[in-house]
């Protein structure tokens, strides 16, 4: 029996299902986490052969001791994974230390974590990329701005999210950034791309072929959410455009991702930039070799009628699953913040969308800065209803318009002592 060490199997909360899928595929699943054993989900306890609690998952020595203990007791370790961006480099170090053949080593990660190095792989796949410059001196930065013009976008060469990212609109802002920037971070400067973020997500097999693929659409930008306190909203679109799917599959091949989840971000250009991009162009942004964050794996399952957790176990066990993704639904998640008053209450949402909701809950505090505090996940047959759902869930009390952004009007009507909310399309 092969030994699979899963790091932090209890966080995010639904990741225990990866361990269940691995057990079903025939692995001996060994967990390493910082949560007391008694607090673990019962289904996780059942999936694990043994659990090793550490005091701090940031302490590499503790994790090394945990894996060493498992190796001594159960024999050679075949896999070490967390499927979590935060632990990717540590996972790789543990694989190298314990001679784990499957998975990435530290030297392999450069191609997947440096945004500058990703550019070449996108080009190999036939995907356009934004011109860029690694920020090393002010003179080169000024020359880059002169050649391509403003606005520019500057961000860390390694990292996810929108922290320490800057939209630079003129020379004064460029100089201010350079003087005040962190000295311990390598930044990359790109021409600014105006567009919507669309992703290519799924699971790659041992030949870098897609076992399944789907897409996320993210109307609000992460930087806007962080800076303005907007509500996070995104949705799964399982109905992939043929050309986009071909580019996505070619990207996976170019990067050589094997037996891993992938989450590749692109821009779909909405504003042309002379000599660079036309409206509708797909521009490569970055690749993440793990599943999208939060509860996105569950969203993929609901949208595509699959079980990605079971598929993951089967791929790791070289069982070559045949996937039928049907029926398909658009699957949005709308979030809310505890410090905001919304026009419609949570109970209103539950009542109005009772036939569409798949999951309702709260995000862990560590994710709430971007994702929000609580979420509503639902499925629909068309995008119009998705956007109506967004406007209903995210409408705030200071929003005075009589109609939503996509033209669906909302009304509040009394029913005895209760409030019943309806919109013209029904729910």
The 10s digit of each residue's pLDDT in 131-164 is 999 999 999 999 999 999 999 999 999 976 556 8
Is 119 inside a domain boundary?
no
Backbone angles phi, psi at 176, to 5 degrees: -60, -45
Strands 50-53 and 128-129: unpaired
- Tokens 């092969």: give the residue: 2
Q: What is the DSSP track for 100-129?
A: --SS--GGGGHHHH-HHHHHHHHHHTT-EE
Question: Which of 100-104, 107-111, 328-332 shows the lowest per-residue confidence on average (mean pLDDT)?
Answer: 107-111
Domain count, the chain: 3
d(C-alpha 84, C-alpha 417), whole Å? 47
229 and 352 share a domain? yes
Sign of CA dihedral 357, 362, 366, 368: positive
155 and 36 share a domain? no
Largest CA distance in the chain: 70
Q: Name the DSSP letter for residue 275.
A: T
Is 425 inside a domain boundary?
no
The two tokens of residue 139 are: 């003179």
Domain final position from 108, 143, 168: 108
Is residue 368 pLDDT above 50, yes or no?
A: yes
326 and 237 share a domain? yes
Q: How far, in Å, are 58, 123, 170, 251, 276 from residue 273 at the CA level?
A: 43, 19, 17, 23, 5
Do 189 and 135 contact (CB within 8 A), yes or no?
yes
Domain holding 23, by residue range, is 3-108
Do 106 and 133 contact (CB within 8 A), yes or no?
no
- Give the mean model confidence (pLDDT) for residues 93-118: 95
235 and 147 share a domain? no
Predicted local confidence at residue 418, as pLDDT: 31
285 and 359 share a domain? yes
In 301-423, the DSSP E strands lie at 331-336, 357-362, 374-378, 410-415, 418-423
240 and 318 share a domain? yes
Predicted local confidence at residue 405, as pLDDT: 47
Is 45 inside a domain boundary?
yes
Predicted local confidence at residue 420, as pLDDT: 30
99 and 229 share a domain? no
Domain final position from 171, 191, 211: 191
Predicted local confidence at residue 413, as pLDDT: 33
Predicted local confidence at residue 163, as pLDDT: 62
Predicted local confidence at residue 162, as pLDDT: 53
Distance of CA 404 to the CA centre of its chain: 27
199 and 182 share a domain? no
Sheet of strand 79-81, all strands in order from the earlier edge strand to the far edge: 50-53, 28-33, 3-7, 79-81
Q: Name the DSSP letter for residue 409.
A: B
d(C-alpha 169, C-alpha 154), whole Å? 11
d(C-alpha 189, C-alpha 191), whole Å? 7
308 and 233 share a domain? yes
- Give the mean model confidence (pLDDT) for residues 273-302: 95
320 and 215 share a domain? yes
Round the average pLDDT of the chain to a whole number and report it: 91
Confidence of residue 186 (pLDDT cuts 50, 70, 90): very high
Is 118 inside a domain boundary?
no
Is 245 inside a domain boundary?
yes
Backbone angles phi, psi at 247, to 5 degrees: -65, -40
Q: What is the DSSP track for 151-181?
A: -EEEEESS-SSSTT-EEE-SHHHHHHHHHHS
- Give the mean model confidence (pLDDT) for residues 152-178: 89
Do 192 and 145 contact (CB within 8 A), yes or no?
no
- Give the mean model confidence (pLDDT) for residues 98-115: 94
Is residue 185 pLDDT above 80, yes or no?
A: yes
Confidence of residue 213 (pLDDT cuts 50, 70, 90): very high
Instruction: Indicate which CATH number applies to the domain containing 349.
Output: 3.30.470.20
Instruction: Indicate which CATH number applies to the domain containing 160.
Output: 3.30.1490.20
Residues above pLDDT 90, as percent of the chain? 83
Confidence of residue 399 (pLDDT cuts 50, 70, 90): low
- Give the mean model confidence (pLDDT) for residues 176-191: 95
297 and 184 share a domain? no
Which secondary structure element, helix H or strand E, spans residue 249, and what is its range? helix 242-255
Is 410 inside a domain boundary?
no
3-state helix, strand, coil in the chain (%, to 5): 35, 25, 40
Instruction: Indicate which CATH number applies to the domain containing 43.
Output: 3.40.50.20
Do 50 and 30 contact (CB within 8 A), yes or no?
yes
Is 142 inside a domain boundary?
yes
Is 258 inside a domain boundary?
yes
Q: Which of 71, 43, 39, 41 is nearest to 53 (CA)?
A: 39
36 and 183 share a domain? no
Question: Which of 54-58, 311-315, 365-369 shows the lowest per-residue confidence on average (mean pLDDT)?
Answer: 365-369
Is residue 427 pLDDT above 50, yes or no?
A: no
Is residue 261 pLDDT above 50, yes or no?
A: yes
Confidence of residue 219 (pLDDT cuts 50, 70, 90): low
Predicted local confidence at residue 329, as pLDDT: 98
What is the C-alpha end-to-end distance of the chain, expressed in Å? 49
Residues above pLDDT 70, as percent of the chain? 90
Is residue 23 pLDDT above 80, yes or no?
A: yes
Domain final position from 144, 169, 191: 191
């Amino acid at each position: 029996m092969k030994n699979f060490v899963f790091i932090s199997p209890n966080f995010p909360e639904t990741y225990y299902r990866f361990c269940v899928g691995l057990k079903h595929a025939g692995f001996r699943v060994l967990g390493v986490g910082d949560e007391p054993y008694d607090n673990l989900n019962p289904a996780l306890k059942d999936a694990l052969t043994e659990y090793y609690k550490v005091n701090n998952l940031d302490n590499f020595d503790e994790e090394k001791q945990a894996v060493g203990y498992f190796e001594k007791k159960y024999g050679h370790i075949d896999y070490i994974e967390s499927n979590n961006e935060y632990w990717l480099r540590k996972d790789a170090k543990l694989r190298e230390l314990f001679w784990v053949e499957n998975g990435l080593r530290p030297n392999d990660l450069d191609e997947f974590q440096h945004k500058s190095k990703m550019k070449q792989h996108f080009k190999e796949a036939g995907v356009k990329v934004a011109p860029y410059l690694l920020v090393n001196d002010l003179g080169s930065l000024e020359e880059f701005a002169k050649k391509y013009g403003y606005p520019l976008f500057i961000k860390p060469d390694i990292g996810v999210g929108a922290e320490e990212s800057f939209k630079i609109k003129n020379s004064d802002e460029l100089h201010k950034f350079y003087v005040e920037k962190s000295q311990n971070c390598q930044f990359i400067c790109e021409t600014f791309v105006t567009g919507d973020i669309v992703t290519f997500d799924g699971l790659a097999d041992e030949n870098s072929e897609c076992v399944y693929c789907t897409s996320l659409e993210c109307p609000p930008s992460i930087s806007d959410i962080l800076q303005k306190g907007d509500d996070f909203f995104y949705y799964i679109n399982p109905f992939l455009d043929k050309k986009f799917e071909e580019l996505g599959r070619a990207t996976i091949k170019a990067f050589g991702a094997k037996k891993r989840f992938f989450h590749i971000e692109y821009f779909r250009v909405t504003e042309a930039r002379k000599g660079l991009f036309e409206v509708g162009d797909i521009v490569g942004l970055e690749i993440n070799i793990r599943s999208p964050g939060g509860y996105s794996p569950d969203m993929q399952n609901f949208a595509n009628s699959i079980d990605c957790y079971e598929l993951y176990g089967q791929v790791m066990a070289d069982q070559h699953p045949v996937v039928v993704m049907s029926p398909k639904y658009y699957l949005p998640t709308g979030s809310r913040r505890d410090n905001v008053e919304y026009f419609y209450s949570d109970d209103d949402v539950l009542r109005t969308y009772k036939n569409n909701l798949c999951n309702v809950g709260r995000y862990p505090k560590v994710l709430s800065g971007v994702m929000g505090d609580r979420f509503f996940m639902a499925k629909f047959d068309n995008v119009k209803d998705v956007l109506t759902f967004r406007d209903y869930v995210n409408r705030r009390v200071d929003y005075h318009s009589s109609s939503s952004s996509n033209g669906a009007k909302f009304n509040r009507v009394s029913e005895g002592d209760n409030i019943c909310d309806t919109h013209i399309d029904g729910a």
